[in-house]
Structure 1
Amino acid sequence: MVEDLEARLKKAMARAGIDVARLARETGISYQGIRKQYDGKAKTMSAETAERIANVLGCDKHWLALGEGEPFPAPDVNPPAPTETPFLPGFEKLAVPLLANSGSMGDGDDDIGEEVMTGALPVSPEWATRTLKPTGLQNLRFIHGYGDSMKGTFEDGDILLVDIGVREPRIDGVYVLEANDRIYIKRVRQRMDGNYEVSSDNPKVRTVDVLDGSIEVKCRGRVLWAWNGTKL
């Protein structure tokens, strides 16, 4: 009897000792997407998804997606010696999820209350820990910033690395904020009277708002790094 997709996935996950949350994290696929496969609500699996999951679980991608072939390839008893080391010791890559959500630097973008992952970008965990000092490597996310109100600090469309473990702006910096069901990327500074001042960096469109408690504003994370793209 041929196992169905749900049974094959659960078998591979049990063998690898990996649960749904960890599989989602290590593949860069959304938790909801993995859960749908795990619960048997998805009857098929794309080749790309199968390859990403198989690489993490150590199973055969064709077996996982189609039920064909051997589920777990036999290990090579005489593997060839590596010709090069893709990452120096301590600089192995960390796959940071890239969210489909974006943050606006102007009038606000849609709510990112539910993370939707479109892929992952590699980052050195050694570099991230030493340079960025995040609350935790598992809290790092990539998003796109759109608009021109932060021009000069980063540009429209730049990829931003955000620490979603930061839920309160304890130090001055650039933060992802949620207000009125919209998402903003703004600079936040605490004044001496204790109130927070929210502003834009672009002097041409500079606006300053003081948070006095009349509007509920949530901190969704702190922007730690911006990848600035420059056309050459």
Structure 2
Amino acid sequence: MIIEPPFAKSVAVLDSDRSNLENSRRLLGQMGHVPVLFESAAELFAALLKGARFDLLMLALKDKVAIESWSVVCDKLGLPTILLLRDAQWEILRSIRGDIFAQDEVIKLDSSGLTMLELEWRMHALLRRRRLLAEIPSFSQEKMTWGHYEFSISSHTVRCRGQEIHLPSRQFSLALEIFRNVGIILSRDWLWKNAWKIEFSRNGSRVLDTYIAHLRKKLMLCHDNGFVMQAVYRQGYQLIATDQCIALPANADRVAR
């Protein structure tokens, strides 16, 4: 069995409850990490503005506005983040758009609080996925173009007919993988593994369908713009080039499983 070296050194923890902060500090210390504790969002935000750098954030946020706001901040800064939710707050995620936090980035806390085993697993999975995404060779190329769509890798933006569209990191990774495989039927399992570098989850179909719906709307995928996205019954999704000047790959219509 191969044991990987420590994968995080500095972890910022935001929680207004001092007892929870102390528990997080104890667990992270036992795991060999260096916790930096914050009782208010203002303190953490001020530290980030002053140039503080962390390997990972752990955020106990209380309402929808805070969750959405910090999601934007973390996405812009490229900071891996774990969201801590108490029982009463879990329903908040139902009213939030699907690209805020992925399932492996959320820990539901019960009366017993945070456990070392779950925290260690979540941190490992999250940071490993971030590392794998950074190692994808194609990401070293700054711009990629398909018809009217130009992808800018570093800024996570897509330009279409002069309009610049910013996508959160998960949406961008998914869109890029779909365009790189134009004409090919992509199974849901394949998309999870190749776009997000994680195993297909129990609720993966619903989550992925939500992401696809966001991309179809945001990227204005339609005949006039040269690409349409279609669901293939019991197989997955296929991006089809409608512009005759766009050549399909030789293996178009094959199924990526």
* TM-score, normalised by the number of residues in structure 2: 0.30
Comparing both structures, which one devotes a greater share of its residues to strand? 1
Highest RCO, 1 vs 2 (Cα 8 Å, sep ≥ 6): 1
* The structure with more radius of gyration: 1
- Write 1 or 2 for the structure with the bigger share of helix: 2
